[in-house]
Structure 1
């Protein structure tokens, strides 16, 4: 029997500044601008209260329109957006543009999207974000795709420890050393591409556990993430899959079952390598 969705039962992770973030959120990467409002409205109607977007996705306006149309109190929705790589030197203006596009008075979490070490600008961008955080225009600030050396460089020049490091994590690419380091610094770990863009769902261990629990393979993988305290932001434009993904919160895997999925790690990255990635996103 497929796990039931329990209303308002999405667990929360408390960030290092006391702000709470729903652990299971909804990502809008590659959602077309013209479809974003409808899809995010569906996600909110289904029960999601954490929406993850970015300036580079060019769909912030649709996210904001969906929030406005939902009738849900603003304080009940957690909104994340991200700083474009090509705007690290103009982070204040970039943030204001994102906030205007979203139509919000404040953003819950603002991330540096990629470190782009070849630019040498991410510490400058962070100092600007610290000021925005101090002025309460952002409730929490963090990073995305930051490797250990990027974190070390940032922390040497910063006053605020990032609240989140959003990185690629899925069963076949777990970045365990980076996750351990982030957590040791008090930085919450958030997984993008948590299902390996669907590529990990066919693994024999995942399929076997899905059959055992009467669950979907996606629910099994998401339950594995949730059990580790990882924040996850799966994406789906399909209403039924949105609902199914929320059902992961009703699953509890045994330690042996967790180990079966952990054993799938093969170091197979799906996305770009943050050590060298330098796309402008403009």
Structure 2
């Protein structure tokens, strides 16, 4: 039976021959597993590691996203499961409606505050200003600060990007967020922000997978030039929503060569791009496989092959991608007005 993996509402069949992962009893930040390729004990912290942000702080290279979780006890349980599996970065947002649930799971995890990296986002909910919204988020999360606070979409930067970013800088200065950044910002918006920013964004969370890599290249280059870490959401879309494209063959062949699952290869591709992975699943074994993906020996040739196939596939499926991209990013204002954001 196909298994739900909670990545933009996608389904994925189980694949045989995946990397075998045997997780030891849970330990904060240093979850140990046996690497299926080297047969050596490796820690999650070592496998995925952290990236240094341009403000001197560090960010774990993989995050558990709460976009699909809804709210209530199920959401609490899912975040608790992710933390118990070895994730130490929780990515949420005001528009997801489950900051409070994430906070409850974090509080009951037994981890110290400094052992968990918390990202949340200003989503323009409840007619609150950026300054008011961070206070609302801190209250729901039951913490004194978040590690990363993002503007969820450039359309939310009101009355303009310059003014909105100045408010974000005040939040960082006040200690309510250790780092500040943006989400879904392209070259135009980033250029406008950087022209007047006193503090550069530490991160830009964007849609990133091989089919959109070529289109996102200018944004990736601008981020790299300014030391802005890219966070990749929906990296598994080529499997969950867009099968049948040019990626299918190379992805299957690389997966077979590495004795890995296709989704692990896609996550390893994101890591090879130097981006933070933001992903999710309701299944513990999938979470374990995501953590194990960091150690896949994806070669430069493998990455280049996926890049090339992604570029071809994007052109041949241009209409579908245009419609899907519009659904994810273009309708934010409408959907947010209705009280729910339609993208991670």
The normalised TM-score by structure 1 is 0.93
Structure 1, gaps ≥5 residues long: none
Equivalent in 189, 196, 205 of residue 150 of structure 1: 189
| Pair 1:117–1:97, CA change in 2 (3 A) | closer
Equivalent in 127, 132, 141 of residue 180 of structure 2: 141
Per-residue CA shift, 1:197-227, capped at 9, x if unaligned? 7235772211111111111111101111101
Q: Give, in whole Å, the separation in 1 of the partners of 2:283 and 2:299.
A: 29
Residue 2 (structure 1) aligns with: 19
Equivalent in 256, 261, 264 of residue 216 of structure 1: 261
Per-residue CA shift, 1:211-265, capped at 9, x if unaligned? 1111111110111110121111111111111111111111121111111111113
| Pair 1:200–1:73, CA change in 2 (3 A) | farther
| Pair 1:191–1:102, CA change in 2 (3 A) | same
Deviation at 1:153, TM superposition (A): 1.2
Counting only pairs closer than 5 Å after superposition, residues 175-190 of structure 1 correspond to structure 2 as: 175-190=216-231
Q: Give, in whole Å, the separation in 2 of the partners of 1:274 and 1:63.
A: 24
Counting only pairs closer than 5 Å after superposition, residues 224-243 of structure 1 correspond to structure 2 as: 224-243=269-288
Equivalent in 11, 17, 20 of residue 49 of structure 2: 11
Are 2:334 and 1:279 aligned? yes
Equivalent in 160, 173, 176 of residue 121 of structure 1: 160
| Pair 1:245–1:53, CA change in 2 (3 A) | same
Residue 3 (structure 2) aligns with: none
Q: Counterpart of 1:116 in 2: which secondary structure?
A: helix
- Asked if structure 1 preserves the Cα contact closer than 8 Å seen for 2:146 and 2:176, the reply is yes
Deviation at 1:276, TM superposition (A): 7.4
Are 2:238 and 1:199 aligned? no
Worse-matched range after superposition: 173-182 or 195-204: 195-204
Equivalent in 55, 65, 82 of residue 27 of structure 1: 65
Q: Which has the higher contact order (CA 8 A, sep 6+)?
A: 1
Q: Give, in whole Å, the separation in 2 of the partners of 1:181 and 1:114.
A: 17
Q: Give, in whole Å, the separation in 1 of the partners of 2:75 and 2:243.
A: 25
Q: Counterpart of 1:25 in 2: which secondary structure?
A: strand
- Asked if structure 1 preserves the Cα contact closer than 8 Å seen for 2:184 and 2:205, the reply is yes
Residue 245 (structure 1) aligns with: 290
Q: Across the two proteins, how many residue pairs are aligned to each other?
A: 282
- Asked if structure 1 preserves the Cα contact closer than 8 Å seen for 2:124 and 2:156, the reply is no
- Asked if structure 2 preserves the Cα contact closer than 8 Å seen for 1:116 and 1:275, the reply is no
Are 2:193 and 1:163 aligned? no
- Asked if structure 2 preserves the Cα contact closer than 8 Å seen for 1:115 and 1:274, the reply is no
Residue 101 (structure 1) aligns with: 140
- Asked if structure 1 preserves the Cα contact closer than 8 Å seen for 2:281 and 2:287, the reply is yes
As a proportion of its length, which structure holds more helix? 2
Residue 85 (structure 1) aligns with: 124
Q: Counterpart of 1:108 in 2: which secondary structure?
A: strand
| Pair 1:120–1:3, CA change in 2 (3 A) | farther
Q: Counterpart of 1:191 in 2: which secondary structure?
A: strand
RMSD of Structure 2 on Structure 1 (CA): 2.1
Q: Quick check: which has more Rg, 1 or 2?
A: 2
